[in-house]
Amino acid sequence: MSELAARGRDLVQRRRARTAFLAGMGRGLAGALLFALPMLMTMEMWQLGFHIDREKLLLLLVINLPLLLILSHHIGFEETFGWREDLRDAIVAYGIGIAASALILALFGLLKAEMPISELFGKIAVQAVPASIGAMLGRSQLTRDEDEECENPELRKRPATYFGELFLMAVGALFLSLNVAPTEEMILLSYKMTAWHALAAIALSIALMHGFVYAVSFEGGHELSPETPWWHALIRFTLPGYVIALSISLFCLWIFEQVDGTALTPLIFAVIVLAFPAAIGAAAARLIL
């Protein structure tokens, strides 16, 4: 009887694991659509798939895989106990992102049989990056309370180290930057700005980053202990986070070919403009991931 009972428990556990994984995939698909749909319906992203430099596109796709791998370690589709399982979740998220992108683009008539393979691949690949990140984020944001209660809370969401928090800020900055980096408005705004506008944008970006996490009591925010000086979190988290937002912004502008032919001053201003939403994304990532 004991052997039959053990087999029964093992069968139940396998069914629960299979159900949890399928539910995670469903949340991943919902997350891919929810987070990536604005980009899937943006003309600049369609055009990028046609003319983006293929070496840059390959670099973006290659960089996205380890990003998903580390993100899976923190908020994957299910509890993971090693990098092999994290890699599986990352590949699944990539697959969901590719499938969701192809489905929506085909639905809107943006993929046609007579198109060259290079154009078809480019359009799907460009969109698959934000869609795959959205698929991974779907596990974190679309989990029901009762599901969370059934899981081991110590394993469900691993506590982030200092560098882990910086990484999550980079993910948030990248995800929000992808929404606007390909648009012409980034360069247009940079030509309309003055040095005073740029300084004001920097100051406001830093203030909002710090305020979102430490001042306005959002759920998931961080509270400073009374003995902690106010500048500690500013120097340790907010300013490094803004530097990350600037770096991600420059990378996105370069990947999406917004740098070529742009003078130095407008380029700096464009990075500062794009760093504004990137900074908001970095702060939001610390709140919700």
pLDDT digits (tens, 9 = 90+) for 180-237: 888 888 888 888 889 999 999 999 999 988 887 765 444 444 555 555 566 677 888 8
User: Could you tell me the pTM of the whole model?
Assistant: 0.78
81 and 64, same structural domain? yes
In whole angstroms, give the CA distance from residue 196 to residue 212. Answer: 24
Q: Is the pLDDT of residue 158 over 70?
A: no
The Cβ of residue 71 has, within 10 Å, a number of other Cβ atoms equal to: 25
Who wins on pLDDT, 13 or 255? Answer: 255
Domain end (from 156, 171, 202): 156
237 and 198, same structural domain? yes
Angle at 35 between CA 100 and CA 179, to 5 degrees: 105
In whole angstroms, give the CA distance from residue 92 to residue 129. Answer: 13
19 and 148, same structural domain? yes
Using only C-alpha atoms, the chain has a radius of gyration, in whole angstroms, of 21
26 and 93, same structural domain? yes
| Total domains present in the chain | 2
Element of type H or E holding 46: helix 43-51
Domain end (from 124, 156, 188): 156
40 and 167, same structural domain? no
Element of type H or E holding 6: helix 2-40
Q: What domain range includes position 105? A: 1-156
202 and 244, same structural domain? yes
Residue 103: band (very low, low, confident or very high) from pLDDT cuts 50, 70, 90: very high
191 and 112, same structural domain? no
In whole angstroms, give the CA distance from residue 185 to residue 46. Answer: 16
214 and 121, same structural domain? no
First-to-last CA distance in the chain? 45
183 and 228, same structural domain? yes
Lowest mean pLDDT among 88-102, 111-125, 206-220: 206-220
Q: Is the pLDDT of residue 137 over 70?
A: yes
Residue with token string 């917004």: 258
73 and 15, same structural domain? yes
220 and 145, same structural domain? no
Angle at 278 between CA 276 and CA 280, to 5 degrees: 75
207 and 129, same structural domain? no
Domain end (from 139, 156, 173): 156
